Structure 1
Amino acid sequence: MTVQQKRILIIEDERPMAKALELKLGHEGFEALAVFNGKEGIEELKNQKYDIVLCDLVMPIADGFYFLKNMKAEGFDIPVTILTNLSQDEDNKKAIELGAKDVFVKSNTPISEIVDYVKNALK
Structure 2
Amino acid sequence: MKTRILCVEDEELLLGDIAEELSDEGFETLTATNGKQAIEILKQQSVDLILCDIMMPLVDGPTTMKLVRERLPQHNEVPFIFLTAKATREDILAGKKLGVDDYLTKPIDYDLLLATIRTRLNQVDRIRETNEERLKRIYRSLKDQHPNHKPLSISLIANMEKYILPIERALGELGCLVEFVHESHLAHRKDITEQNDLCFLVYSKQVHFYLNSLIKAGKENGGGRIVLLCKDSVDQSLKDALLELGIGYTIDYPYPPVEIFKIILKTAQGN
Task: Determine if the TM-score, normalized by the shorter chain, exceeds 0.5.
Answer: yes
The within-5 A match list for 1:3-18 is 5-18=2-15
Aligned partners of 2:25, 2:79: CA distance in 1, in Å? 19
Q: CA deviation at 1:87?
A: 2.0
Q: CA deviation at 1:112?
A: 2.4
Question: Higher RCO, 1 or 2 (CA under 8 Å, sep at least 6)?
Answer: 1
The within-5 A match list for 1:27-38 is 27-38=24-35
Q: CA deviation at 1:116?
A: 2.2
Aligned partners of 2:16, 2:114: CA distance in 1, in Å? 13
The within-5 A match list for 1:1-123 is 5-74=2-71, 75=73, 76-77=75-76, 78-107=78-107, 109-123=108-122
TM-score by length of 2: 0.42
Matched length: 119
Runs of 4+ in structure 1 off by over 3 angstroms are: none
Aligned partners of 1:92, 1:15: CA distance in 2, in Å? 25
Amino acid at match of 2:95: A
Q: CA deviation at 1:119?
A: 2.4
Residue aligned with 1:5, SS: coil
Give the fraction of aligned pairs with identical amino acids, expressed as a percent: 33
Amino acid at match of 2:98: L
Alignment RMSD (CA, Å): 1.3
Aligned partners of 2:19, 2:111: CA distance in 1, in Å? 12
Amino acid at match of 2:42: L
Residue aligned with 2:5, SS: strand
Structure of higher CA gyration radius: 2
Aligned partners of 1:119, 1:38: CA distance in 2, in Å? 23
Residue aligned with 1:53, SS: strand
Aligned to 2:201: none
TM-score by length of 1: 0.90
Q: Which moved more, 1:89-98 or 1:113-122?
A: 113-122
- 1:25-73 deviation line (CA, Å, top 9, x unaligned): 0011000111011111111111110000000100011100110110111
Contact 1:68 1:95 in 2 (8 A): no
Structure 1: gaps (5+ residues): none
Structure 2: gaps (5+ residues): 123-271
Contact 1:56 1:84 in 2 (8 A): yes
Q: Which moved more, 1:21-30 or 1:71-80?
A: 71-80
- 1:6-38 deviation line (CA, Å, top 9, x unaligned): 000001111111111100000110001110111
Residue aligned with 1:34, SS: strand
